[in-house]
Amino acid sequence: MTNGTPTHIETMTSDLLQADGVRAGATAGPIGPAVEVREVSKAFPGVVANDRVSLAFHHGEVHCVLGENGAGKSTLMNILSGMYKPDSGAVMVEGREVTIDSPRRAIELGIGTVYQHPTLIPVFTVLENLMLGEGVGVRLDVEGGLRALDRFAKTLGLEVDPHAPASRLALGQQQQIEIIKALWSGSKVLILDEPTSMLTPQGIEELEKVISQLRDEGLAVIFITHKLHEALDLGDTVSILRGGRVVGSWGPDVVKTKSRSEMQALIVGAMFGEGAGSLEDVAEVRDGVTGRARRRGLPNEPVLELVKVSVEALRGEVGVHEVDLTLRRGEILGVAGVDGNGQRELAEVIAGQRSMVGGDIRLCGESIARAGVGRRQSLGLRYVTDDRIGEGTVGTLSVGLNLVLKRIGEEPFWRGGRIREEAIDQAACDLVEGFDIRTPGTETRCGTLSGGNLQKVVLARELSFDPKVVVYNKPTYGLDLKTTLAVRDRIRDLAESAGVAALLISTDLEEILDLSDRIAVLFRGRITGIVDNAPGVERHVGELMLGGDRGD
The residues that touch other proteins, with contacts defined as CB under 8 A, are 78, 81, 83-84, 102-108, 113, 115, 117, 119-124, 128-129, 131-140, 181
- In the complex with other proteins, the residue whose CB is nearer, 134 or 508, is 134
Q: Of 139 and 296, which has the nearer Cβ to other proteins?
A: 139
Distance from C-alpha of 516 to C-alpha of 221, rounded to nearest angstrom: 37
Closest separation between CB of residue 399 and other proteins, Å?
Answer: 20
Residue whose CB is less far from other proteins, 69 or 113? 113
What is the rounded CA–CA span in Å between residue 144 and residue 108? 19
Q: How far is the CB of 137 from other proteins (least distance, A)?
A: 7
Q: Quick one: which H or E segment has residue 272?
A: helix 260-272
Phi-psi region of 289 (alpha: psi -120 to 50; beta: other; left: phi over 0): beta
Report the nearest approach of other proteins to the CB of residue 451 (Å): 13
Nearer to other proteins, 24 or 142 (CB): 142
Least distance to other proteins, CB of residue 124, Å: 7
Q: In terms of CB distance, is 19 or 120 closer to other proteins? A: 120
Nearer to other proteins (CB atom), residue 121 or residue 408: 121
35-44 vs 111-114, strand pairing mode: unpaired
Give the E-state strand segments of 312-442 in sequence order: 320-328, 332-336, 358-363, 366-367, 381-384, 414-415, 418-419
Least distance CB 156 / other proteins (angstroms): 20
| DSSP per position, 210-260 | HHHHHHHTT-EEEEEES-HHHHHHH-SEEEEEETTEEEEEE-HHHHTTS-H
Considering the complex, state which of residue 102 and residue 261 has its C-beta at the smaller distance from other proteins: 102
- Is there a contact between 169 and 316 (Cβ–Cβ < 8 Å)? no
Q: Which is nearer to other proteins, 139 or 539 (CB)?
A: 139
CB of 529 to other proteins, least distance (A): 40
Cα–Cα distance, 283 to 509 (Å, whole number)? 11
Measure the CA–CA gap between 351 and 387, rounded to whole angstroms: 14
CA dist., res. 23 & res. 31, Å (int): 8
Task: Identify which of residues 6 and 319 has a Cβ nearer to other proteins in the complex.
Answer: 6
Rounded alpha-carbon distances, angstroms, from residue 508 to 6, 209, 284: 38, 21, 11
Closest approach of other proteins to the CB of residue 443, in Å: 22
Nearest distance from residue 10's CB to other proteins, in Å? 14
Distances, alpha carbon 446 to alpha carbons 24, 85, 176, 306, 483, in Å: 51, 27, 34, 35, 18
Residue 139 CB, nearest distance to other proteins (Å)?
6
Distances in whole angstroms, Cα of residue 548 to Cα of each of 66, 182, 415, 528, 551: 36, 38, 56, 8, 9
- Its sign, for the CA torsion 403, 409, 412, 415, is positive
483, with CB counted inside 10 A (0-12, 13-18, 19+), is buried
Quote the CA–CA distance of 474 and 502 in Å, as a whole number. Answer: 12
Cβ at position 96, least distance to other proteins in Å: 20
Cβ proximity of 113 and 66 under 8 Å:
no
Nearer to other proteins, 60 or 478 (CB): 478
